[in-house]
């Protein structure tokens, strides 16, 4: 059984299509989506439609929460608050009310049992859509922040846009990275796979080439309100 975990699409429908094509080529059996579907990219509606067409389990990310109710003071740096709410308003304008309702009702975590392997999946932490758990934190922080479901064998999260795999006390922690906006200096889409076989469990971070300049043109042609910053992030794979 091969499982793909994708997340942080951020309205980059082109990158999502490339990832889904890669997933199909790798003959993945199941796909799960860990949030941040449509905010901060040039194609929010098409990104959301592609996710919904998967007919799979999807959870909410912080950016989905922002689409629903706006970005609040204290959640981002003060100097970014007004611009991020302009981006949020632009995104909502390009969605249907039913799309916003869909985002509102998304659950915040998944407890999966697949061929006897228990997997706990969430966006940022099991208790927050916003907390940041970086790749290099110490083992104690990793355990207290991410591993509250003690019976799970694999923990999968997203949010930080920096993919990694770590092993702790015989268990696996995976960050998927980002489909639409990688932050690790490599401007390629990222997702994670878990393969469960009779011999054991294999995990991997997958990277996929995308046409970055095509998406840059989409930001510019759509008159996205923060196009200059977002295209710089996209080109460099970092903030």
Do the Cβ atoms of 224 and 230 come closer than 8 Å?
Answer: yes
Q: What domain range is 221 assigned to? A: 2-236
Helix (H, G, I), strand (E, B) or coil at 194: strand
DSSP state, 192?
Answer: E
Handedness of CA 39, 19, 188, 235 (dihedral sign): negative
Q: Distance between terminal CA atoms of the chain?
A: 35
- Give me Rg for the CA atoms of the chain: 17
pTM above 0.75, yes or no: yes
Predicted pLDDT at 10: 98
Predicted pLDDT at 239: 86
Q: What are the pLDDT tens digits along the chain (239 aa)?
A: 999 999 999 999 999 999 999 999 999 999 999 999 999 999 999 999 999 999 999 999 999 999 999 999 999 999 999 999 999 999 999 999 999 999 999 999 999 999 999 999 999 999 999 999 999 999 999 999 999 989 999 999 999 999 999 999 999 999 999 999 999 999 999 999 999 999 999 999 999 999 999 999 999 999 999 999 999 999 999 98
Give backbone dihedrals phi and psi of 204, rounded to 5 degrees, phi first.
-155, 150
Residue 17: CATH number of its domain: 3.60.21.10
Predicted pLDDT at 111: 97
Q: Where are the beta strands (DSSP E) in the chain?
A: 2-6, 30-33, 109-114, 117-122, 154-157, 164-168, 171-175, 189-197, 200-208
Predicted pLDDT at 45: 98
Domains: count for the chain? 1
Buried b (16+ CB within 10 A) or exposed e, 193-209: bbbbeeeeeebebbbbe
């Amino acid at each position: 059984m091969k499982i793909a975990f994708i997340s942080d699409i951020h309205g980059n429908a082109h990158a999502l299509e490339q990832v889904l094509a890669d997933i199909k080529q790798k003959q993945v059996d199941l796909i799960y989506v860990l949030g941040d579907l449509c905010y901060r990219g040039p194609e929010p509606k098409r990104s959301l439609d592609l996710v919904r067409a998967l007919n799979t389990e999807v959870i909410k990310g912080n950016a989905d929460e922002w689409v629903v109710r706006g970005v609040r003071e204290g959640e981002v740096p003060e100097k970014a608050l007004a611009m991020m709410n302009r981006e949020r308003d632009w995104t909502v304008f390009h969605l249907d009310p039913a799309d916003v309702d869909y985002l509102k009702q998304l659950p915040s975590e998944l407890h999966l049992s697949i061929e006897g392997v228990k997997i706990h999946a969430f966006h940022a932490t099991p208790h927050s859509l916003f907390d940041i758990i970086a790749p290099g934190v110490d083992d104690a922080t990793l355990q207290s922040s991410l591993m509250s479901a003690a019976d799970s064998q694999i923990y999968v999260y997203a949010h930080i846009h920096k993919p990694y795999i770590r092993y702790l006390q015989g268990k696996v922690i995976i960050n998927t990275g980002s489909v639409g906006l990688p932050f690790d200096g490599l401007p390629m889409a990222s997702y994670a796979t878990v393969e469960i076989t009779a011999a054991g469990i294999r995990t991997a971070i997958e990277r996929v080439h995308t046409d970055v300049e095509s998406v840059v043109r989409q930001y510019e042609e759509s008159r996205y309100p923060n196009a200059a910053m977002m295209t710089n992030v996209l080109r460099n794979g970092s903030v």
